[in-house]
């Protein structure tokens, strides 16, 4: 008894033969007898069966024997092509080398096929129903195709090496409690195609290397409150296409790189209260499209993203508080608004305080740079002026001393009115011209009303001036000559008019209100008018004119210094 047991225990496993699988079901007999011809590809009508019956049921172990072949049974060079089968048991091809195509289309699998570490030409599971697929580290010389398949579980492809594409157009995958498609770290010379796919659960494409696109045009991806599509570190030579897709959950692409576009045209991205689309530190060599009624419900994170160009429209922008653009760099606007008013509304949808910051200047600098490079110089300047206003407002808010806040507010108000914070230094010249015109009027009125006088002590002590203060019928003792002198002013004539009518005053410089105002206003220029004339505070209107004289002098100094500072850039925020 023990000897027999010992002999049985030491026996070398014997490879199965075709006879070991008998008796065959009706379907199996048909497969075995016809598969070698190369023109057999279906059971029944070839459609996916709804239930198991003898005409459709095929054991997975028998299929494995036929796929791997032997001296007894040689598969046709076209490989295994079978549709319409109900496959029982586990199709376990782990670690196997399959030198031909494996096509099990429109089949029903009772258990998840296992192809971990297998090597295969092409794998076709189009239209089939599976509880999952375990293909970790699979190597396929061609493609893996799951088009229109129904998968009620997880598709595992981490570390896979694919010579073609992962084709899953129209696939339906349901794994709502976890990951539906895991391709972490896989590599394909083609792309990943999920056009029109319906996926309940997460898709993990982190660290994937692609020679083509990630194409999810028209797809429906759903994983509320979680990351529905994880593409951290993905490197793709082509596009990331979400045109017309509906995505519920977070789409996250940290540090990704795309040689083409990221296209969210007409897409609906929804993660209320969280991140809808995160392109943090992603590089997009093409363009970022967000247009044609695209909807972003949740935060659009473009922090530190590098984009070749942006094509968007105002209706597709996220609402206020749901946009992050800090350190985002882009080359141009190739669609959508390119005016300062609209783009400032775009930037205003950021709320730094939500992220515990007071202000982000970089988005304004970047927008200004792009608008200037596009030839919109005035629009670029308007953006920088807004940036200065908001940045100074944030600085005042940081000041804890009330007196300092008041001083900063006053200084900022002056800079805003006179120089637009240094962004429009020529505005100081406009103010100078305005005060020049006002001064011209004030001094002209003063001269006409006799409220100006010579600015010369000699003239002011001369009889020509002093005696013009008296009517001709009046006299005054003049110590300088030791006698009474008669007045020189006619009835109703003021002192200045009388003086100008004296023959001795003919050589005195004429008063010119235009040049006098300019002479008072310009601190470093000397036109000569101030040397000969000044307001007379003893005459009606003279006190006001004298005060305005000093005011305009101070204004001239201030505006001149501000203009110099503005042109030199000293008043701009750094």
Q: Report residue 378 CA to chain centroid gap.
A: 22
- For every residue of 10-46, which 3-state class applies, written as one string? CCCCCCCCHHHHCCCCHHHHHHHHHHHHCCCCECCCC
The DSSP call for residue 501 is T
Bridge partners for 202 per DSSP: 179
E strand or H helix that includes residue 371: helix 362-373
Bridge partners for 230 per DSSP: 204, 252
Residue range 186-190: mean pLDDT, rounded? 97
Asked whether the predicted pLDDT for residue 10 surpasses 70, the reply is no
Q: Which residues contact 231 (CB under 8 A, 6 or more apart)?
A: 205, 206, 208, 214, 240, 251, 252, 253, 256
Distance CA 391, CA 358 (A): 9
Length of the chain: 574
Are 234 and 253 a contacting pair, CB within 8 Å? yes
Residue 126: its pLDDT value, please?
97
What is the reported pTM? 0.81
Q: Read off the pLDDT band of 1 (50, 70, 90).
A: very low
pLDDT tens digits, residue range 212-232?
Answer: 999 999 999 999 999 999 999
Q: Read off the pLDDT band of 540 (50, 70, 90).
A: confident
pLDDT tens digits, residue range 323-369?
Answer: 999 999 999 999 999 999 999 999 999 999 999 999 999 999 999 99
Are 211 and 235 a contacting pair, CB within 8 Å? no
CA dihedral 386, 392, 394, 397 (to 10 degrees): -140
Q: Report residue 554 CA to chain centroid gap.
A: 46
pLDDT tens digits, residue range 95-128?
Answer: 999 988 999 999 999 999 999 999 999 999 999 9
List of E strands, 231-281: 235-236, 240-241, 246-252, 257-258, 262-263, 268-278
Asked whether the predicted pLDDT for residue 381 surpasses 70, the reply is yes
pLDDT tens digits, residue range 547-565?
Answer: 999 999 998 888 888 888 7
Which of the pair, 192 or 100, is modelled with greater confidence? Answer: 192
Please name which of 407, 410, 416, 354 lies closest in space to residue 387, comparing C-alpha atoms: 416
Residue range 394-404: mean pLDDT, rounded? 89
pLDDT tens digits, residue range 292-302?
Answer: 999 999 999 99
Average per-residue pLDDT for the chain? 90
Residue 5: its pLDDT value, please?
43
Query: Taking the alpha carbons of 551, 555, 556, 557 in that order, is the dihedral positive or negative?
Result: positive
Which of the pair, 431 or 300, is modelled with greater confidence? Answer: 300
Residue range 148-173: mean pLDDT, rounded? 97
Q: Read off the pLDDT band of 8 (50, 70, 90).
A: very low
Q: Read off the pLDDT band of 251 (50, 70, 90).
A: very high
């Amino acid at each position: 008894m023990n000897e027999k047991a010992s002999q049985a225990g030491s026996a070398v496993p014997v490879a199965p033969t075709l006879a070991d699988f008998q008796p065959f079901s009706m379907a199996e007999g048909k497969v075995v007898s016809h598969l070698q011809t190369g023109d057999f590809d279906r059971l029944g009508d070839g459609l996916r069966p709804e239930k198991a019956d003898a005409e459709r049921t095929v054991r997975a172990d028998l299929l494995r024997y036929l796929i791997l072949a032997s001296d007894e049974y040689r598969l046709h060079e076209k490989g295994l092509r079978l549709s319409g089968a109900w496959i029982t048991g586990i199709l376990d091809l782990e670690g196997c080398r399959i030198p031909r195509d494996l096509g099990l289309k429109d089949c029903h699998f009772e258990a998840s096929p296992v192809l971990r570490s297998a090597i295969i030409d092409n794998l076709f599971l189009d239209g089939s129903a599976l509880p999952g697929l375990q293909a970790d580290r699979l190597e396929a010389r061609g493609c893996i195709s799951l088009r229109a398949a129904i998968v009620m579980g997880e598709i595992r492809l981490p570390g896979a090496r694919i010579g073609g594409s992962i084709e899953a157009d129209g696939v339906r995958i349901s794994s709502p409690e976890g990951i539906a498609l895991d391709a972490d770290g896989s590599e394909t010379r083609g792309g990943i195609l999920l056009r029109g796919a319906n996926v309940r659960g997460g898709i993990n494409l982190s660290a994937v290397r692609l020679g083509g696109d990630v194409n999810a045009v028209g797809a429906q991806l759903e994983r509320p409150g979680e990351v529905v599509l994880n593409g951290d570190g993905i490197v793709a030579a082509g596009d990331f296409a979400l045109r017309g897709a509906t995505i519920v959950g977070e789409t996250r692409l940290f540090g990704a790189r795309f040689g083409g576009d990221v296209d969210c045209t007409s897409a609906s991205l929804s993660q209320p209260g969280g991140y809808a689309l995160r392109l943090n530190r992603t590089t997009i060599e093409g363009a970022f499209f967000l247009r044609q009624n695209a909807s972003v419900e949740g935060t659009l994170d473009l922090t530190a993203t590098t984009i070749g160009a942006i094509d968007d429209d105002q209706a597709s922008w996220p609402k206020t508080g749901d946009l992050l653009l800090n350190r985002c760099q882009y080359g141009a606007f190739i669609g959508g608004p390119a005016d300062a008013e609209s783009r400032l509304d775009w930037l205003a949808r950021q709320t730094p305080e939500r992220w515990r910051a007071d202000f982000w200047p970089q988005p304004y600098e970047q927008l200004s740079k792009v608008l200037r490079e596009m030839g919109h110089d005035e629009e670029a300047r308007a953006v920088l002026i807004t940036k200065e206003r908001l940045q100074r407002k944030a600085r005042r808010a940081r000041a804890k001393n009330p007196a300092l806040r008041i001083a900063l507010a006053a200084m900022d108000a002056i800079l805003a009115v006179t120089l637009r914070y240094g962004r429009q230094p020529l505005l100081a010249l406009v103010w100078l011209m305005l005060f020049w015109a006002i001064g011209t009027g004030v001094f002209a009125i003063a001269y006409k009303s006799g409220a100006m006088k010579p600015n010369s002590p000699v003239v002011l002590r001369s009889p020509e001036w002093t005696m013009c203060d008296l009517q001709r019928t009046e006299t005054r003792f003049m110590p300088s000559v030791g006698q009474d002198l008669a007045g020189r002013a006619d009835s109703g004539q003021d002192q200045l008019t009388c003086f100008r009518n004296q023959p001795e005053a003919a050589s005195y410089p004429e008063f010119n209100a235009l040049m006098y105002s300019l002479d008072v206003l310009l601190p470093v220029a000397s036109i000569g008018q101030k040397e000969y004339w000044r307001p007379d505070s003893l005459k009606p209107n003279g006190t006001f004119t004298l005060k305005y004289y000093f005011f305009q002098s101070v204004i001239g100094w201030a505006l001149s210094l501000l203009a110099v500072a503005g042109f030199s850039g000293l008043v701009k925020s750094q």
